[in-house]
């Protein structure tokens, strides 16, 4: 067997498409590629800036210079470290280049491990998002052939392997195709070679990749944010496809080399939407965009006073009316949106609804029938746990709908229907406006099914639709409490722990309030269902312990309201410092709470959208008071493509 053959044949997994490892993959990084006449370094650095939310351990670029060489610059740390490096050690200009921002897995976040990695004696550069699971086996083969590795990364192995195969076949597209058929795991790869000065070859398997289409120039990115500054025209790259871009052409094939037609689409937002726009942080900007996130998600989905979601209409009333059980799958914040949605959909549509964390779902061998509807919720549409849950649900015969904020992402592509949330790009790593948009979308789904099944009478459906449309103005009103909350956060900036209590739809909001605080301020925070208090958590209450209580509307269940007021009295009696989030005019809490944050009146089912906003502001302000980076909290990345 020749050199190429020996590197390209694996006894375990002949083709990634058939790999069992499709189920346990990935990580997250930001990728950008450019071919065209613009200042390539500026295009790459702009694309990395807009994708820094995907990873910020290190960053790097490779340029095919006008002298026909490859020059790289790479640096551990946030993107600014690379910006500084480029000032002291500039890279020569060129018209083809690739850039990468990293969230480290194999090998720590060092300069050496930063991408790009080189192959073919420095004539080839490669960047990678994902995990190559069989890299050790390939590395051993390459070491045996005399190659040496400075970096510990799996990416360095892929770069050397691609260089080795290219040296055999002399064509970068073909070399990429041969290499990806040997790799196992998750990868988006982008490569350039000095022999083809106006070409970038890329491949996608289990990691995101989109093409930006320009005039006399083309782009690649993990996300359209990579190139939205220059073009609104994009095309998604499907699973197991190889892409080659030059300034004037885009060619896509599958991993067997068969041509694939691209599906072009228009990006629904412009570059300014992903800029800070004068705000101190993306998070501050995105919290103020909460009202728009709700309004834009509702827009076009209330027709003649009644909720009608066109995407569900396309799915067909017969299918919806035949659903006997709904399972919502999601992770983190999205799962809390799911919990709110479960209360609403079950109450309105009279279908049993449960919420399962995506990563628990398929390992419990769930009972799924063709009458089961699985609704996935994901801002990014790339969360690997949720993607795998959707694929599993489909394999088991369930109908699948995704609620997603990212056009053309993988999860919607794997689902029978998608209800997009129109929150606009969310750049801060911790989710805020996408969360309220997710809840809004779930309300719409619940009301649509209730209408189709006639489980809520038309008058009530009209009232709920009107109340839903009135929510954005009410969210704007809640934003006015921001200064008071900032003050509270400053007072509490040295507290070691904060607790959150809620009941019914307020319970997931308590969980979300705690998660936001953990993520942003690195403080111990826990959310509880208020009814659980006496079953254990009340032991945590000591003198001065701050407790946020989301008080349910007395206009909903008077019983639940009075029980939560009793809970407030119980914790107050034990020294808790109570901050109540209660609707305007709720006099019952006033005597017992240390602070009351008032929210406008809405249907009790819609209160989560209003109640969560003060908690988002609180977490942001407390983190800010501690001098922390609210947009890029430690150890996190926005798109969690790790299972």
Q: Which is nearer to ligand AGP, 41 or 430 (CB)?
A: 430
Task: By CB under 6 A, name the one of 331, 447, 533, 619 that touches ligand AGP.
Answer: 331
Number of H helices, E strands in the chain: 20, 26
421: three-class secondary structure by DSSP: coil
Nearer to ligand AGP, 386 or 415 (CB): 386
> Which neighbouring-strand residues pair with 191?
126, 201
Task: Please choose, out of 202-210, 330-338, 348-356, 538-546, the segment that lies near ligand AGP by the rule CB under 6 A.
Answer: 330-338
Considering the complex, state which of residue 87 and residue 635 has its C-beta at the smaller distance from ligand AGP: 635
* Contact indicator for 581, 548 with CB cutoff of 8 Å: yes
| Interacting residue with ligand AGP among 130, 221, 332, 482 (CB under 6 A) | 332
- Closer to ligand AGP by CB, 153 or 632: give it: 632
**Region binding ligand AGP by CB under 6 A among candidate stretches 64-72, 378-386, 470-478, 600-608:** 378-386
Q: Which of 7, 160, 430, 571 binds ligand AGP (CB under 6 A)?
A: 430
CA atoms 403, 349, 551, 523: torsion sign: negative
Residues 191, 375, 640, 642: which binds ligand AGP (CB under 6 A)?
Answer: 640
Least distance in Å: CB of 331 to ligand AGP? 4
CB-based contacts of 534-541 (< 8 A; 24+ apart in sequence)? 534/570, 537/499, 538/570, 538/571, 538/574, 540/497, 540/499, 541/499, 541/571, 541/574, 541/575, 541/576
CA–CA gap between residue 315 and residue 401 (Å, rounded):
9
Does 637 sit behind a cis peptide bond, omega within 30 degrees of 0 on the bond before it?
A: no
Q: How far is the CB of 335 from ligand AGP (least distance, A)?
A: 8
Which residue in the list 29, 49, 123, 391 is annotated as catalytic?
Answer: 29
Stretch that binds ligand AGP, among 170-178, 375-383, 468-476, 526-534 (CB under 6 A): 375-383
With a CB cutoff of 8 Å and minimum separation 6, the contacts of 340 are 439, 442, 505, 508, 509, 608
Rule CB under 6 A: say whether 632 interacts with ligand AGP: no
Element housing 59 (H / E): strand 58-65
Number of residues that bind ligand AGP (CB under 6 A): 15
Site string for ligand AGP, 431-450 (x = CB under 6 A): x-------------------
CA distance 95 to 106: 31
Closest C-alpha to 410, from 143, 131, 117, 186: 186
CA separation, residue 543 to residues 496, 524, 581 (Å): 13, 17, 21
For residue 75, indicate whether it is catalytic.
no
Q: Does 51 bind ligand AGP (CB under 6 A)?
A: no
The phi and psi torsions of 326 (rounded to 5 degrees) equal -120, 135
Residue 600 per-residue DSSP state? -
To the nearest whole angstrom, how small is the minimum distance from the Cβ of residue 427 to ligand AGP? Answer: 12
- 380 belongs to the binding site for ligand AGP (CB under 6 A): yes
By beta-carbon proximity to ligand AGP, the closer residue of 184 and 519 is: 519
Strand extents, DSSP E, 123-260 = 124-132, 185-193, 200-205, 210-213, 218-221, 233-236, 241-245, 250-254
Sign of CA dihedral 338, 344, 346, 350: negative
Part in contact with ligand AGP (CB under 6 A); list of ranges 119-127, 128-136, 429-437, 571-579: 429-437
Q: Of the candidates 399, 416, 417, 403, which has an alpha carbon nearest to the alpha carbon of residue 323?
A: 399
**Integer Cα distance of 588 and 574 in angstroms:** 19
HSE at residue 444, side-chain half, CA atoms within 13 A, is 32
Residue 455 CB, shortest distance to ligand AGP, in Å, is: 29
Of the candidate residues 194, 383, 553, 641, the single one contacting ligand AGP (CB under 6 A):
383
Collapsing DSSP states into helix, strand and coil, what is residue 616?
helix
- Does residue 638 carry a catalytic annotation? yes
Is residue 207 within the footprint of ligand AGP (CB under 6 A)?
no
Nearer to ligand AGP, 113 or 380 (CB): 380
* Cβ 91 vs Cβ 63: under 8 Å: yes
Residue closest to ligand AGP, measured at CB: 332
Q: Are 83 and 44 spatial neighbours (Cβ–Cβ below 8 Å)?
A: no
> DSSP alpha helices (H): ranges in 454-549?
458-479, 482-491, 506-521
Give me the least distance between CB of 358 and ligand AGP, in Å please: 8
Residue 519 contacts ligand AGP per CB under 6 A: yes
Binding-site member from 334, 342, 423, 533 for ligand AGP (CB under 6 A):
334
Q: How far is the CB of 338 from ligand AGP (least distance, A)?
A: 10
* 290 touches ligand AGP (CB under 6 A): no
Peptide bond into 116 cis (omega under 30): yes
Which range binds ligand AGP by CB under 6 A, 31-39, 307-315, 427-435, 618-626?
A: 427-435
**Choice between 218 and 432, CB closer to ligand AGP:** 432
Tokens of residue 337, six digits: 């949106």
Closest distance between ligand AGP and the C-beta of residue 604, in Å? 25
3-class state of residue 376 by DSSP: strand
Q: How far is the CB of 475 from ligand AGP (least distance, A)?
A: 18
378 binds ligand AGP (CB under 6 A): yes
Asked if residue 116 binds ligand AGP (CB under 6 A), the reply is: no
- Closer to ligand AGP by CB, 519 or 583: give it: 519
Residue 541: Cβ within 10 Å count? 18
Q: Which is nearer to ligand AGP, 180 or 429 (CB)?
A: 429
Nearer to ligand AGP, 120 or 289 (CB): 289
Tokens 């926005």 correspond to 638
Site for ligand AGP contains 610 (CB under 6 A)? no
Q: Is 407 in the site for ligand AGP (CB under 6 A)?
A: no
Choice between 101 and 438, CB closer to ligand AGP: 438
Among 379, 421, 632, 641, binds ligand AGP (CB under 6 A): 379
Which residue in 113, 333, 400, 440 binds ligand AGP (CB under 6 A)?
A: 333
Q: Which token pair is 356? A: 């399962």
**Contact region with ligand AGP (CB under 6 A), list: 297-305, 373-381, 566-574, 593-601:** 373-381
Classify strands 58-65 and 210-213 as parallel, antiparallel or unpaired. Answer: unpaired
Catalog residues that contact ligand AGP under the rule CB under 6 A.
331-334, 378-380, 383, 386, 429-431, 519, 636, 640
Looking at the annotation, which residues are catalytic? Answer: 29, 638
């Amino acid at each position: 067997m020749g050199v190429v053959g020996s590197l390209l044949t694996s006894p375990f997994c002949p083709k990634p498409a058939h790999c069992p490892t499709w189920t346990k993959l990935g990580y997250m990084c930001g990728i950008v590629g450019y071919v065209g006449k613009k200042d390539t370094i500026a295009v790459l650095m702009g694309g990395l800036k807009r994708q820094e939310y995907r990873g910020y351990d290190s960053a790097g670029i490779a340029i095919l210079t006008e002298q026909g060489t490859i020059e790289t610059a790479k640096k551990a740390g946030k993107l600014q470290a690379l910006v500084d490096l480029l000032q002291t050690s500039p890279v020569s200009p060129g018209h083809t280049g690739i850039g990468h921002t990293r969230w480290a897995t194999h090998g720590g976040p060092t300069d050496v491990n930063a991408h790009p990695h080189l192959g073919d004696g420095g004539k080839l550069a490669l960047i990678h998002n994902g995990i190559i699971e069989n890299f050790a086996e390939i590395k051993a083969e390459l070491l045996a052939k005399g190659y040496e590795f400075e970096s510990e990364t799996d990416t360095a192995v892929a770069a050397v392997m691609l260089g080795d195969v290219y040296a055999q076949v002399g064509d970068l597209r073909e070399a990429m195709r041969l290499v990806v058929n040997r790799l196992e795991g998750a990868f988006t790869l982008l490569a350039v070679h000095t022999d083809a000065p106006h070409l970038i070859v890329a491949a996608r398997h289990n990691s995101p990749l989109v093409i930006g289409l320009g005039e006399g120039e083309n782009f690649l990115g993990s996300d359209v944010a990579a190139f939205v500054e220059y073009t609104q025209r994009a095309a998604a790259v499907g699973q197991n496809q190889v892409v080659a871009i030059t300034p004037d052409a885009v060619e896509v094939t599958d991993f067997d080399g068969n041509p694939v037609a691209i599906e072009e689409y228009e990006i629904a937002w412009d570059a300014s939407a992903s800029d800070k726009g004068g705000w101190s942080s993306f998070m501050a900007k995105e919290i103020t965009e909460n009202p728009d996130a709700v309004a834009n998600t509702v827009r076009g989905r209330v027709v003649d006073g009644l909720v009608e979601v066109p995407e569900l209409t396309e799915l067909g009333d017969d299918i919806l009316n035949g659903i006997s059980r709904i399972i919502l799958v999601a992770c983190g914040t999205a799962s809390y949106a799911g919990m709110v949605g479960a209360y609403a959909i079950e109450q309105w549509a009279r279908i049993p609804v449960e919420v399962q964390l995506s990563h628990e779902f398929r390992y419990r061998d769930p009972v799924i029938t063709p009458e089961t509807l699985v609704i996935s919720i994901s801002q990014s549409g790339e969360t690997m746990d949720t993607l795998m849950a959707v694929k599993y649900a489909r394999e088991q015969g369930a109908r699948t709908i995704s609620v997603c904020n990212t056009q053309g992402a993988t999860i919607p592509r794997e689902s029978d229907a998608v209800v997009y949330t129109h929150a606009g790009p969310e750049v801060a790593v911790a989710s805020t406006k996408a969360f309220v948009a997710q809840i809004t979308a779930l309300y719409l789904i619940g009301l649509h099914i209730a209408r189709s099944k006639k489980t809520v009478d038309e008058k009530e459906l009209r009232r709920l639709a009107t109340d839903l449309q009135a929510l954005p103005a009410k969210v704007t009103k809640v934003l006015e409490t921001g200064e008071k909350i900032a003050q509270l956060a400053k007072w509490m900036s040295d507290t070691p722990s904060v607790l959150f209590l809620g009941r019914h739809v307020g319970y997931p909001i308590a969980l979300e309030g705690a998660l936001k605080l953990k993520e942003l301020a690195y403080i111990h925070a826990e959310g509880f269902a208020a009814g659980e208090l006496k079953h254990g958590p009340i032991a945590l209450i000591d003198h001065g312990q701050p407790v946020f209580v989301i008080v349910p509307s007395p206009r909903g269940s008077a019983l639940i309201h009075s029980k939560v007021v009793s809970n407030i009295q119980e914790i107050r009696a034990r020294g808790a410092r109570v901050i109540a989030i209660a609707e305007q005019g709720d006099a019952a809490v006033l005597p017992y709470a240390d602070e009351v944050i008032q929210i406008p009146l809405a249907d009790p089912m819609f209160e989560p959208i209003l109640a969560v906003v003060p908690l988002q502001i609180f977490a942001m302000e407390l983190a800010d008071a501690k001098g922390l980076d609210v947009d890029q909290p430690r150890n996190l990345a926005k798109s969690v493509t790790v299972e």
